[in-house]
Amino acid sequence: MVKEAMFYEKVDGGKVVCRLCAHYCKILPGRIGICGVRENREGTLFTLVYQKAISTSVDPVEKKPVFHLYPGSGSFSYATVGCNFHCKFCQNSNISQFSKQRTEYIPGQDITPEQIVAMAQGYECRSIAHTYTEPIIFFEYAYEIAQKAHDADIKNIFVTNGYFTEESLKAIAPYLDAANVDLKSFEDRFYRRLVGAKLQPVLDSLKMMKKLGIWVEVTTLIIPTHNDSEDNLKNIASFIHDDLGSETPWHISRFYPHYKLMDVPPTPVATLRKARQIGLKAGLRYVYSGNVPGDEGESTYCYQCGKVLIKRWGYQILDNKIKNSKCFYCGAAIDGVGMG
């Protein structure tokens, strides 16, 4: 369904400037923005993906990954096609890189915001995850779903690349309970070469999310030879610690050859373990390894007494020793929302 877009301004000659994400696309009449799903029709900007869900599923919240919001609960997850990033290592390129396969037809099922919330309720999910592609680019849909979710006492999670503008982030903030934000590298050239974006807007969004009171977790997919240097990992860990706070979880995730990076080998487990030690040494309380089922880095440890609090295997929780948001053994306050 087509709907007039939020956050844009009309400029000279029928052009529009989209202010939804930090690309600030200037779009000529009859053209679309970088995300491939916002179109200038005779001087008015439209979203092409409103109420067009390409994917819906009930996932464990751990799959997002969000480890510090109602651990072990279900998160109703959905997406539309399109993305404002063009990552060469995208895991969902068949639905995210829609602009590359442009047609007049937008794939997806017509599902209203009310129906999304009703499905989340039906499956007894504690949260709705706006995920899989990039929720910023289906903002109008996500915004309405998020409002209705709060009316139904359901939390909202954005799994996002963090490429907000100040105005779009401030608009969704009252409804956004948590976000997992990809901080793919601390080098701007990585963003420019492998993603087609810039680093600084992501850092700005992360800092603003914390100021706005949103629970933030950070994910870094470690890609051999591209972002696995010690300096880069130390810079990410220091930024999270100094600018977001030691309570911010950092998920270090294993890369497998995918999409346009088929010639890069999987991340050695030793690299993930080294990265985890870098995060812990920087003073972060919760550093996790992802995509390595059974690794000790999947579990949550008490930052004060060191005991295992949430024992995980993949997305499964085997045991939770957090009581009233405190460590069962030493009483330290464990950060997050509804931790147990």
Q: Which residue ranges make up the site for ligand SF4 (CB under 6 A)? A: 18, 20-21, 23-25, 33-35, 38, 84, 137
Tell me whether residue 23 or residue 254 sits nearer to ligand SF4 (CB atom).
Answer: 23
| Distance of closest approach, residue 89 Cβ to ligand SF4, in angstroms | 19
Q: Which residues of 285-312 are buried (b: 16+ CB within 10 A; e: fewer)?
A: bbbbbbbbeebebbbbbbbeeeeebbeb
Tell me whether residue 179 or residue 233 sits nearer to ligand SF4 (CB atom).
Answer: 179
Which tokens is 135 given? 């929720």
| Distance of closest approach, residue 137 Cβ to ligand SF4, in angstroms | 5
Pure H helices in the chain: 93-96, 113-122, 139-151, 166-172, 188-190, 200-211, 230-239, 269-281
Whole-number Å distance between alpha carbons of 248 and 270: 23
Q: Are 89 and 255 in contact (CB under 8 A)?
A: yes
| Distance of closest approach, residue 99 Cβ to ligand SF4, in angstroms | 9
Tell me whether residue 25 or residue 116 sits nearer to ligand SF4 (CB atom).
Answer: 25
C-alpha pair distances (Å), 254 with each of 3, 160, 268, 273: 38, 18, 8, 11
Which tokens is 284 given? 């972060």
Which tokens is 134 given? 């990039």
| Distance of closest approach, residue 85 Cβ to ligand SF4, in angstroms | 9
Tell me whether residue 84 or residue 93 sits nearer to ligand SF4 (CB atom).
Answer: 84
Tell me whether residue 23 or residue 126 sits nearer to ligand SF4 (CB atom).
Answer: 23
Which tokens is 132 given? 């899989």
Which tokens is 65 given? 């990954």
Tell me whether residue 9 or residue 124 sits nearer to ligand SF4 (CB atom).
Answer: 9
- Residue with the CB atom nearest ligand SF4 in the bound state: 33
Whole-number Å distance between alpha carbons of 289 and 250: 9
Cβ atoms < 10 Å from Cβ of 186 = 22
| Distance of closest approach, residue 307 Cβ to ligand SF4, in angstroms | 45
| Distance of closest approach, residue 172 Cβ to ligand SF4, in angstroms | 13
